[in-house]
Every structure is written in C-alpha cells, then in structure tokens.
C-alpha cells in the first residue's frame, strides 16, 4: 500500500514480531497470523495483517497486507490476507485494540483441548501474571476463555464477539486444539502479553502433566 506513508514502518515491526514468534516455536508450518491497527490517516485501511500461507520464520515486510473493515486488501494488493482475518477484524471493533497476535504452540493446543469442556483456563499464582496490563500481584486470577474450533472463521467471530467480557480486563482467548489469540493496546503490549501467556501455558501444562491439577 503506497498511499499511507508510514506503512513500511508498521510492516517492518509486524514482520519482526512474526519472525520472533516463529523463532520461539509458536508458529509451526505456515500457521499463525499477526496484525497491527493502522492510524486514522490510513483509512479505509483498518489494520495490517500477515499474508496467508507464508512461513513466519522468514516473513518479509512485503508479506504484510493492509486491509479494510471487510477484509479486502488495499490497492488491489495481490497477497491473500490471513485465513483468520475475520477474527482480527472482530477484535478491532473492541476498544484499546492496537495489535492482535495468534500462535499455535504445543502448550496452547494441548491445554485448550483438555480444558475445552470447562470453557476456560484460569491462571493464578504465577509471578509472570504481572506482565499483563493492570496486574501487580501474582495471587489474582486471569481467565482465558476457550471456544470450540471451526473452519467457518466468520461464524466463529460472530460466536466469540458477544462472549468476550467488556467490563473486566480480557487479554485473549484459546481456540480448542488450535491455538491462542492475545492482544494489547499497541504491538509491544501485545507482544509482552503473548510471551506471558505462552510461558504460563507451558507452566500449566507441566504442572498438570505431573499430576498437580490447579483447576481449570
């Protein structure tokens, strides 16, 4: 997109974030997707999002596409936006949503399946919870909702949107057997939240696999 002069800066930062997540082992094969909200001057573009089917470990800024509120690439961009674009667009209708990051880690896939019947995962007692916006103690409870997976992404977005809390902090959700969505008020916030949740999912997985169930 060439009508928005700062686009390259946003694309650079998003590509770097995608490569970082892939380097952590959270983006096997060509899975996962990442987006950042664009400023008003980029309208009608809403966000920049990684293209579908690209190996995230080698993601180039040229693999980042600006899209409008219907998920259409701007300026006839030839790359196809992520298959999960409608989940990102649904999240950008929420307040203070600056970036959305989605990973496919082993811990996220396993825990989201084992706790699917409960409908959420509760994280508590971990020092790293303090890495989440607005949390300053370990002995609190943070809930990650879990939704059933689906290949109908628009339908999934419609199902999830009314279920996400608006009056209390909500940092992300899990799709069962699939992966994790997290967000933040800007890209660095979202990146920190992603690192916190992936770390905590690993901790929970270890605890549960050793028979010390902390409760779903």
Q: Please report, as residue ranges, which positions from 95 to 154 form the binding site for Zn ion (by CB under 5 A).
A: none
Distance of alpha carbon 10 from alpha carbon 216, whole angstroms: 37
126 token code pair: 């971990």
* Shortest-Cβ-distance residue relative to Zn ion: 179
Contact stretch for Zn ion (CB under 5 A) within 36-44, 49-57, 175-183, 206-214? 175-183
Tell me whether residue 42 or residue 160 sits nearer to Zn ion (CB atom): 160
Nearest-angstrom CA–CA distance, 128 and 142 = 11
Rounded-to-integer distance, Cα 99 and Cα 96, Å: 9
Q: How far is the CB of 20 from Zn ion (least distance, A)?
A: 17
User: Which of these ranges, 51-59, 110-118, 178-186, 201-209, lies near Zn ion under the rule CB under 5 A?
Assistant: 178-186
Closest contact distance (angstroms) between CB of 84 and Zn ion is 5
Q: Name which of 19 and 129 has its Cβ closer to Zn ion.
A: 19
Taking the complex as a whole, how short is the minimal distance between the CB of residue 8 and Zn ion, in angstroms? 26
Nearest residue to 208 (alpha-carbon basis) of 138, 116, 114, 109: 114
Q: Which two tokens stand for residue 83?
A: 């298959």
Residue 132 burial (CB count, 10 A): 22
Give 172 or 179: the residue with its C-beta nearer to Zn ion. 179
Six-digit token string for 216:
């779903």
Q: Can you give the binding site for Zn ion, defined by CB under 5 A? A: 179
């Amino acid at each position: 997109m060439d009508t928005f002069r700062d686009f390259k800066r946003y694309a650079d930062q998003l590509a770097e974030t995608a490569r970082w997540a892939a380097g952590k082992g959270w983006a096997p094969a060509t899975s996962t997707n990442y987006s950042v909200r664009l400023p008003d001057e980029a309208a009608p573009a809403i966000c920049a999002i990684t293209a579908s089917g690209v190996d995230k470990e080698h993601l180039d800024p040229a693999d980042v596409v600006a899209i409008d509120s219907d998920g259409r690439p701007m300026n006839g961009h030839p790359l196809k936006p992520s298959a999960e674009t409608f989940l990102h667009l649904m999240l950008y209708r929420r307040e203070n949503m600056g970036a959305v990051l989605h990973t496919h880690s082993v811990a996220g896939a396993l825990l989201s399946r084992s706790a699917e019947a409960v409908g959420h995962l509760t994280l508590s007692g971990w020092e790293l919870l303090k890495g989440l916006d607005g949390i300053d103690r370990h002995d609190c409870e943070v809930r990650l909702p879990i939704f059933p997976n689906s290949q109908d992404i628009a339908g999934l977005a419609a199902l999830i949107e009314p279920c996400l809390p608006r009056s209390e902090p909500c940092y992300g959700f899990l799709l069962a057997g699939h992966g994790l969505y997290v967000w933040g008020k800007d890209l660095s916030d979202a990146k920190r939240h992603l690192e916190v949740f992936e770390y905590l999912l690993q901790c929970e997985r270890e605890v549960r696999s050793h028979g010390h169930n902390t409760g779903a």
